[in-house]
Structure 1
């Protein structure tokens, strides 16, 4: 009799924060048949989560946005300040777009609508664990509206001083425009497409998508998808 094959990689360590006991139990039940996920702990409040997270050090924090007292935004800000390598995936509802925006600004790697099917939740957890960001299509456009008006609400930045020609070669990597492929990927991001979906659509590997994203971030001088989309819109590189 053949011995069972060991998993190709260790399970992703997930900590779940949800203040509604019934919802929490339902969420945990979803993961029962998914050995690639290891639920290492739960908390019913943000305060309890901040006590347990330093002890358990999960890979991904699955965090309810609408917590009592200490909000999911506050938890996100605190966790990312203390443990920047922990990825945070927010659970939200349709009418929380302002809070989602604040959570992303605080460091959340993405968000899901409550009631999302388990395969979407699993894919999202894997996505953020791999360094990606999850922006759901049905919230992406509403979220982007915030960014589309922000540039007009602030004074235009002062134009930089001209750079001497002798330094052009040194600055070329920063000033190089996005390639057609990079603009194509940035446009997909703006539509809420995940790394995995982009790889399938463009017939590329996920590693290639991540490499392109790194180039996009460096060229636009940003650190995540939302900032990249914001800059892309502001610079007229993409449309939404």
Structure 2
């Protein structure tokens, strides 16, 4: 759903989870003087985070993966199960790509490398709060390889698949259902174009700039894509797009 006209004036409620006190203090110091961000709470462990998140109801959770006892991946899975509206942005280091992959599969909306500038962090927070995803291209490619259904495991039928009359009548010219798997509501050319950009790891802001559209329009198109593909996030949308033969990688 698009934000209300005065939504930009409302600070994004952010909760930070980091087990090292010194790093946590440095992170909090970064946000001083940024009126768009409201730090509503912090936690030094995953267990404490679950208790505090329920109380504070943040918009975005900045989460360190390397937590003691309860891992960041487990926290991600639990938070998304209990508080699905909370967006999760992972803080990671260079050698944690496998863990980041697991966190994204568990429901995280993206990740940032520790040491990122405050402007980059704030931009990422705004991106995931608006329904976007913050994933670097190298990890996006790994995600696609992980979720991709190879041709020999998903044979394409030689005969055209039947399309229900209602779907055929409502489909724009050239938008027939894919031979891989029929779509009840085919994606428009613009939706396929946006889905292809998503597969390349492009953010909402970048997609808006490339297509000369507003970010609100991109979000609306994404909502339509998710609904038509019966998914809830970008990773699932790209996976389904590949599986149904709607996009190429």
Which segments of 5 or more consecutive residues in structure 1 lack a partner in the other structure? Answer: 1-5
Taking structure 1 as the reference length, the TM-score comes to: 0.84
Taking structure 2 as the reference length, the TM-score comes to: 0.82
| Shift of residue 175, structure 1, vs aligned partner | 2.5
Q: Aligned partners of 2:106, 2:85: CA distance in 1, in Å?
A: 14
Q: 1:154 to 1:55 in 2, by over 3 A?
A: farther
| Shift of residue 70, structure 1, vs aligned partner | 0.2
Residues 90-99 or 183-192, more deviating: 90-99
| Shift of residue 145, structure 1, vs aligned partner | 2.2
What are the Cα deviations for residues 56-96 of structure 1, in whole angstroms up to 9, with x where unaligned? 11111110112111011111111111111111111122332
- 1:190/1:229 contact within 8 Å kept: yes
- 2:167/2:185 contact within 8 Å kept: no
Q: 1:219 to 1:64 in 2, by over 3 A?
A: same
Number of equivalent positions: 230
Give 1 or 2: higher helix fraction: 1
1:169 aligns with 2:169: no
- Correspondences of 1:1-12 after superposition (within 5 Å): 9-12=9-12
Q: 1:8 to 1:194 in 2, by over 3 A?
A: closer
- Correspondences of 1:34-49 after superposition (within 5 Å): 34-49=34-49
- Correspondences of 1:1-240 after superposition (within 5 Å): 9-148=9-148, 151-152=149-150, 156=154, 168-169=165-166, 174-240=183-249
Q: Aligned partners of 2:230, 2:198: CA distance in 1, in Å?
A: 17
Extract structure 1 runs of 4+ deviating beyond 3 A: 152-159, 162-165, 170-174
Provide the alpha-carbon RMSD of the alignment.
Answer: 2.8
What are the Cα deviations for residues 87-126 of structure 1, in whole angstroms up to 9, with x where unaligned? 1111122332222222122221222222222212111111
